[in-house]
Amino acid sequence: MSILNNQKFTTAMYLILSFILGLCVFFCSILFSLRFTVFSPSYLTDTINSTDYYKDLCGEITDDLLNIGDASGLDKSFFEDFVDEVLVRKDVQYYIDDFYAGKKLEVNSSDFQKSLRTALDRYINQKSLTAEDFSEKSINEFVKEADEIYVSHIELTYFSQIQKAFLSYSFKINIYIGITLAVTIAVILLFFFTNKWKHIAVRYIYYATASAGLVTLIIPVVVFFSGIISKITIISRSLNDLYTACLSSVFTTLIFIGGALIAISGFLLVLHSKMRKNALN
């Protein structure tokens, strides 16, 4: 009776340990997928480059500038090919770099202002406009408003608000990964060192990896099937596409990790049956 009770207690303890291991593996999966996506400085740049972000962004800036051009008496052709994608790329990249470096987020739009002033001078000369046709104040106001439009498009919405919290999490995430990895290794070692029969250790590790793999798979599958990502609506098309691409890739990464865990658990299952057969023989 006492032996039976002892055996039940040991099994319960191992199941609890297996559950803790599963929980750690699951957290580890989530933390790794975040670490290598949103918390990776190159990730956002790569995602931007893999989408039509710059093309859409230049279109949106041009659209808003055309509007201010209409209000300012400029010909439509003035702004049609004005926005320089190379300059936009450079300014957005600086903004992203500053975000990850924890610097104050400010767009240095001096190049944009300079090219706008040059284009305006050329326009005034071409149209032979005189001082009666404009005032320095109205031109300055126009440049100021055009610059505000440009800056507002270069800035990534909500980045300045979340920067502090983001960087704090970015630091903490490494610590959390360290802790979960340490616990994972400790529990695995515990299984092996406290079991005479190694196939039993493998079985409990299988429980943990299979359950962690399932949870890691369930979350993105539910997200994709619910179509929640396609329900995201942000007024700017470029930002909408960028943010949905980012979210999709985070969940796709989770699917890969979940799939890998399921594959590992399959391998453990085969290993377990072989080890068990050997042990019985």
Partner 1 sequence: MKKRNKTNKNTKKFVIVPLLMCAAILLVSSTICFPLLSDVFSIGSMFLSDKQVDYSKSFENIFVPTANDSDTVNAKDVDFPSVNKQFGELKIKSCSVNAKLFFGDGKIPLRNGVGVYAGSFIPGYNKTILVAGHNNTYFNGLKNIKKGDTVKINTSYGNYKYRVTAAKIYNAENKKAYDLSKNEENLILYTCYPFDTLGITEKRFFVYAEKVSGPKIVGQYE
Enumerate binding residues for partner 1 (CB under 8 A). Answer: 15, 18-19, 22-23, 26-27, 63-64, 66-68, 70-74, 124, 129, 133-135, 137-142, 145, 206-208, 210-212, 214-215, 218, 228, 231-235, 237, 240, 265, 269
When the beta carbons of 67 and 93 are compared against partner 1, the nearer one is 67
Estimate to the nearest angstrom the gap between the alpha carbon of 229 and the chain centroid: 14
Instruction: With both helix axes pointing from N to C terminus, report the angle between 85-101 and 41-50 in degrees, rounded to the nearest 10.
Output: 160
In whole angstroms, the minimum distance from the beta carbon of 123 to partner 1 comes to 8
**Minimum distance, C-beta of residue 94 to partner 1, in the bound complex (Å):** 26
How far apart, in Å, are the Cα atoms of 260 and each of 8, 195, 269?
32, 26, 14
Our measurement of the distance from residue 47's CA atom to the centroid of its chain's CA atoms, rounded to an integer in Å, reads 9
Q: Is 133 exposed, middle or buried (0-12, 13-18, 19+ CB in 10 A)?
A: exposed
CA distances from 139 to 25, 65, 104, 132 (A): 61, 14, 30, 12
The C-alpha angle with vertex 151 and arms to 67 and 86, in degrees rounded to 5, equals: 90
Q: Would you say how long the chain is, in residues?
A: 281
Q: How far is the CB of 12 from partner 1 (least distance, A)?
A: 12
Residues 6 or more apart in contact with residue 91 via CB below 8 angstroms = 107, 108, 109, 111, 112, 154
Q: How far is it, in rounded angstroms, from Cα 13 to Cα 1?
A: 18
Least gap, CB of 207 to partner 1 (angstroms): 5
Of 90 and 276, the one with the shorter C-beta distance to partner 1 is: 276
CB of 195 to partner 1, least distance (A): 17
Nearer to partner 1, 88 or 239 (CB): 239
Question: Least distance from C-beta 86 to partner 1, angstroms?
Answer: 24
Contact 82, 119 (CB under 8 A): yes
Q: Name the residue nearer to partner 1 (CB basis): 48 or 69.
A: 69
Q: How far is CA 102 from the centre of its chain?
A: 17
Looking at the Cβ atoms of 124 and 260, the one nearer to partner 1 is 124
- Closer residue to partner 1, CB minimum distance, 51 or 94: 51
Whichever of 94 and 176 has its CB closer to partner 1, that residue is 176
Least distance in Å: CB of 240 to partner 1? 7
